[in-house]
């Protein structure tokens, strides 16, 4: 039977079938040949080229199987690490993404017969945490990268430090409240029962101005002054004492509040996050592991995952890459362009680049959002802001 003509329905159907994934049992890894049906695979096995490949493999079959097994394991773990990180995921989901690449190493050429056997082997060798459920096998990648371990330790240390700061702040506030309550109790007036030394003395009341006052009429000095004068002197003393106590309470309350506000401001200034990735900012790739195609090239962050990694769309090629923040650096735009502050007191604040201090590796920015819009801030480090897309 002749070959179908170009752009005929038969030829188009053959091309569509060739693009899709075919059955695994009709694939020859030695020849890297995929057949569409059993008859085609049988014809391929009888071909001269396949027989030559079998002769090569028969000389040292273990060498070829070890090579294919190693490639399959490396590509599978690399996909698991970059795509899912340390999340727990079904093994079949990872495998389906792995075989979507037409150039992948097929499992029938490795030492593992099924995906379950391969999953058990990963758990036995310590590459992943595996567990069996009624829905199937789940795997979780174990990241032993020293940089990742160091970052996790720093994150735990920062969390512990934040908790210590919160506890210290809470104790300080409780101490200020207790001190204020003790001060009010000490300055509170003490009321005692009214007693007369001489029961025979007469008491006179002055109700001329609506205020009652009691005076003893036995002594000449008190009768000379009069009850109204004594009443006025007593009221003046009480008012002065009340004003002094109120001013003391206000000073104590004000000082305690100022101390709390000052402590919170210092805490806010001292806290710096160890991650700086945000969507819609321009970054530059600094790692050489991806080759010269992406080295020193710029891209835009489209999505941030786990705070420390991001999906970057390259500006030149349009490719999307998942990169760690250690493989990226910020981009400084031209003067007058908009930037996003990534760290420090003004984190997540949009600003305009006003000037650059090359000697101190810093820049002066004008805030363009938030409550302090229009304020000029100086000395923002290069790594604390980046150009907005």
Identify the structural domains of the chain with CATH numbers, from first to last: 272-331 (2.30.30.140), 333-389 (2.30.30.30)
pLDDT of 103 > 70? The answer is: yes
pLDDT of 22 > 70? The answer is: no
Give the three-class secondary structure for 289.
Answer: coil
Q: Would you state the pLDDT for residue 261?
A: 67
Q: Would you state the pLDDT for residue 236?
A: 52
Q: Would you state the pLDDT for residue 89?
A: 92
**Among 62-71, 86-95, 98-107, the range of highest mean pLDDT:** 86-95
Helix then strand then coil, % of the chain, to nearest 5:
45, 20, 35
Q: Would you state the pLDDT for residue 316?
A: 87
Q: Would you state the pLDDT for residue 338?
A: 92
pLDDT of 214 > 50? The answer is: no
Q: Which residues lie below 8 Å from residue 160, measured CB to CB, with a gap of 6+?
A: none
Rounded to two decimals, the pTM is 0.34
Q: Would you state the pLDDT for residue 224?
A: 43
Q: Residues 304, 278: contact at Cβ < 8 Å?
A: yes
Q: Nearest CA to 86 among 135, 149, 133?
A: 149
Taking the CA of residue 33 as centre, how many other CA atoms within 13 Å lie in the half-sphere pointing to its CB? 15
**Among 104-108, 202-206, 261-265, 375-379, the range of highest mean pLDDT:** 375-379
Q: Would you state the pLDDT for residue 238?
A: 63
Q: Percent of the chain having pLDDT more than 70?
A: 74
Taking the CA of residue 67 as centre, how many other CA atoms within 13 Å lie in the half-sphere pointing to its CB? 8
Q: Would you state the pLDDT for residue 210?
A: 47
**Among 57-61, 151-155, 263-267, 331-335, the range of highest mean pLDDT:** 331-335
pLDDT of 330 > 90? The answer is: yes
**More confidently predicted of 385 and 31:** 385
Q: Would you state the pLDDT for residue 353?
A: 93
**More confidently predicted of 190 and 352:** 352
First to last CA, the chain: 58
Identify the helix (H) or strand (E) that includes residue 377: strand 376-381
Residue 63: band (very low, low, confident or very high) from pLDDT cuts 50, 70, 90: confident
Q: What's the chain's average pLDDT? A: 78
Helix axes 115-125, 91-99, angle to 10 degrees: 110
pLDDT of 128 > 70? The answer is: yes
């Amino acid at each position: 039977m002749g070959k179908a003509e170009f752009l005929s329905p038969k030829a188009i159907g053959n091309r569509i079938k060739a693009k899709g994934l075919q059955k695994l049992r009709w694939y020859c890894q030695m020849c890297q040949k995929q057949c569409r049906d059993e008859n085609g695979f049988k014809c391929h096995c009888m071909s001269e080229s396949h027989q030559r490949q079998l002769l090569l493999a028969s000389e040292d079959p273990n060498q070829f199987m070890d090579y294919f097994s190693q490639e399959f394991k490396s590509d599978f773990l690399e996909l698991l690490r970059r795509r899912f990180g340390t999340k727990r995921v079904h093994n079949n989901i990872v495998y389906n993404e792995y075989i979507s690449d037409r150039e992948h190493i097929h499992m029938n050429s490795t030492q593992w017969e099924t995906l379950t056997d391969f999953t058990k082997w990963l758990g036995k060798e310590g590459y992943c945490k595996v567990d069996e459920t009624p829905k199937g096998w789940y795997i979780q990648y174990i990241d032993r990268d020293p940089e990742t371990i160091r970052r996790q330790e720093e994150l735990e240390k920062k969390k512990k430090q934040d908790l210590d700061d919160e506890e210290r702040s809470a104790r300080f506030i409780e101490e200020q409240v207790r001190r204020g309550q003790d001060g009010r109790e000490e300055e509170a007036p003490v009321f005692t029962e009214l007693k007369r030394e001489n029961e025979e003395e007469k008491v006179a009341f002055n109700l001329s101005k609506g205020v009652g006052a009691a005076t003893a009429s036995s002594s000449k000095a008190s009768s000379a002054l009069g009850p109204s004068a004594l009443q006025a002197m007593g009221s003046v003393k009480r008012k002065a004492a009340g004003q002094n106590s109120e001013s003391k309470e206000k000073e104590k309350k004000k000082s305690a509040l100022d101390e709390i506000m000052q402590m919170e401001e210092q805490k806010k200034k001292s806290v710096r996050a160890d991650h700086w990735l945000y969507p819609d900012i321009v970054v530059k790739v600094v790692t050489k592991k991806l080759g010269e195609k992406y080295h020193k090239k710029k891209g835009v962050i489209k999505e941030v995952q786990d705070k420390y990694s991001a999906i970057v769309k390259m500006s030149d090629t349009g490719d999307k890459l998942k990169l760690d923040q250690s493989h990226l650096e910020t981009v400084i735009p031209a003067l007058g362009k908009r930037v996003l502050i990534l760290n420090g007191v003004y984190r997540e604040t949009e600003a305009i680049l006003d000037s650059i201090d090359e000697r101190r590796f810093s820049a002066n920015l004008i805030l363009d959002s938030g409550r302090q819009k229009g304020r000029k801030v100086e000395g923002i480090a290069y790594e604390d802001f980046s150009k907005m897309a």
